[in-house]
Amino acid sequence: MLEVFDTPEHSGGARGALALSALGEPADWRPVAEQLFARGWLERGADPDTYIRTEYGRLALAGPLDVTLYTRPGCHLCDEAKAQISPLLRRAGARLREVNIDADPILRARYDLDVPVIFLGARKVAKHRVDREQFRRQLDEARRSGLARSPDEQARG
């Protein structure tokens, strides 16, 4: 269900709000949405039966080669980390998503003094500084685990 937040025909607004009616009968989807809300993967939107995927929910679904770099403008350590990992990401076929923590009060509270913070899939692998060799090994391991997944799992992310 959470993948529909990434499809243009279902997501809307700046944060990807999803109306349950886009999935079918809202009453059928409400229990699922409420379970995901209870886990912290969704938050309720402004309209009834509308939900917004949280950053925690996005991370929970991240594939093994999805790399998230939590950063902020003007952070020289963030710039250094990105420069160090970018060539490794290209070689591994990994996808980088940069997230400005100052744009989200929850992320700012969580990572304010720790940026850069790097997640590989749903696992935090570095903060402050990157050990390039360790990150390369982690990427290699993630790539191998991703290749071991079934074609259906790979298609989902």
- Residue that finishes a domain, picked among 34, 54, 74: 54
8 Å CB contact between 53 and 47 = no
Ordered per-residue pLDDT tens for the chain, 157 residues = 455 555 444 444 435 688 898 899 999 999 999 999 999 999 998 888 899 989 988 898 889 999 999 999 999 999 999 999 999 999 999 999 999 999 999 999 999 999 999 999 999 999 999 999 999 999 999 988 876 443 444 444 4
Domain that holds residue 8: 2-54
Q: What is the CATH number of the domain that holds 118?
A: 3.40.30.10
Which amino acid is residue 51, in one-letter code?
Y
156 lies in some domain: no
- Note whether 84 and 32 are same-domain residues: no
The pTM (predicted TM-score) of the whole model is: 0.77
- 138 and 77 both lie in a single domain: yes
**Claim to verify: residue 78 and residue 141 sit in the same structural domain:** yes
Yes or no: say if 114 and 128 are a contact pair by the CB < 8 Å rule: yes
Could you tell me the two tokens for 2? Answer: 């959470």
